[in-house]
Chains A and B, each alone.
Chain A
Amino acid sequence: MSQSEQVENNPITQWVTFRLENETYGVNVMQVQEVLRMTEIAPVPGAPSYVLGIINLRGNVVTVMDTRSRFALPPHEADDATRIVIIEAEDQVVGIMVDSVAEVVYLKQSDIEIAPNVGNEESSRYIQGVANRDDGLLILVDLDKLLTDDEWREFSNM
């Protein structure tokens, strides 16, 4: 098999990795627009628990998701390492707050294992797969599935 065929059958994808609690997660680099330091997040009245609030990103209002709440993790006081990753998902530009952003990693398709579909549906639906790396397991997140369709609609309408 030639090298080009190998690449075709086993494409390489890039993932931006971030930390939440003690785990490392990855999101597709194509969906990441930028990474911001912690900034003032204004609360939105009446917003559901997975919404932290809104930020003013160069004159645009961007809704920031409480990723910890979504991942059923305990709240964490923002610190110097805290970042807001601006992503595009479901045709929306949104922010996800993470404990820290680590690096961009390259993964071959063959490195990615489909996540075992056990446990409750709620938490596993947005786990796209996992990849074994020297420094531990990397959990790949399907950003589009972080919220349900109804939740995305609500999200766009903060």
Chain B
Amino acid sequence: MSSEEKKQYKTDVEHEVALKVYIDALLLESEIEAPPESAVAVTETVDITTPTALDAAVVHETTVSEVIETTKINPSYGQGVSAASEVVEYLLFKVAGFLTLSVPLARLNGIMKWEGQVTPIPGHADWFLGLTSNRGRQVKVIDIAKFVIPVSHKSRQAVEAERQFKHLLLVDGGKFGLACDELGQVLKLSSDKIRWRDDRGSRPWLAGTIIEQMSALLDVDSFTEMLKEGVPLDEIS
């Protein structure tokens, strides 16, 4: 195994661990965030399956299906707002030289170095840079700045300018790669350090703002959902 592969392997393992922690955290959250009217049902589920309900780390995988079932019954679960005491890791990254975005680390499937080997596919939206491959799989490369900065906004000039991409953040199982200029720090934050958006009718991909760093926090699921809706549409036109 080359050092590069070792590094990749290490990163994958880290992500797996982070993902496990994140899912566990979500499960814990559904316990804490349960609205009063459904609190009884949830407590029952938890009592039966996890005697030490408040310790997220010991939530066994066998309980996942049961908790998820409860989740389906009540749509208010799992909205991404963690309990204040929980700490989640977020990666900051910069796009277009001025915009600092962030994603929950556990939602990333990996980070690729930008090699510039992106095959443009004509006739698509300008935010779809083209395709690249990662370990034999095709990755749709997204210029996230072009996606999130409206054409009419005055900062768009910086977005249209010559850009220097350095990394691709892989999301949605590695199907999409978000091109970024610069990777920033990883922050461990409790939920109260984030201003969550209440109304997500517009820009559902924006979960909120990391207050201290004033960084826009992406809702990766909503974002990839929109990408998926957007890309085929472009393919038709």
Chain A residues within 8 Å of B, Cβ to Cβ: 40, 42-49, 53-56, 59-61, 69, 75, 153-154, 157-158
Contacts and interface: CB of A to CB of B under 8 A. Distances in A.
Given A46-B150, A49-B152, 20 more contacts: A40-B214, A42-B214, A42-B215, A43-B99, A43-B149, A43-B155, A45-B99, A45-B216, A46-B149, A46-B203, A46-B205, A47-B150, A48-B153, A49-B153, A56-B214, A59-B212, A61-B209, A75-B154, A157-B197, A158-B197
Interface string B98-117: 11110000000000000000
Q: Is the interface of B mostly helix, strand, loop or mixed?
A: loop
Interface of B: 98-101, 148-150, 152-155, 195, 197-199, 202-203, 205-206, 209, 211-212, 214-216
A54 B149 contact: no
A56 B211 contact: yes
Contacts of B197: 157-158
A59 B211 contact: yes
B206 A54 contact: no
Closest 5 CB pairs of A and B: A42-B214, A45-B148, A46-B203, A157-B199, A61-B195
A62 B5 CA distance: 45
Contact of A157 (B150, B202, B205): B202
Contact of A154 (B100, B152, B154, B202): B202
A46 B206 contact: yes
B176 to A, nearest CB: 17
Contacts of A45: 99, 101, 148-149, 203, 206, 216
A53 to B, nearest CB: 8
Given A42-B100, A45-B149, A45-B216, A61 B206 contact: no
For A55, A69, A157, which residue has the most chain B Cβ atoms within 10 angstroms?
A: A157
Contact of A49 (B98, B99, B154, B198): B154
B150 A48 contact: yes
Contacts of A40: 214
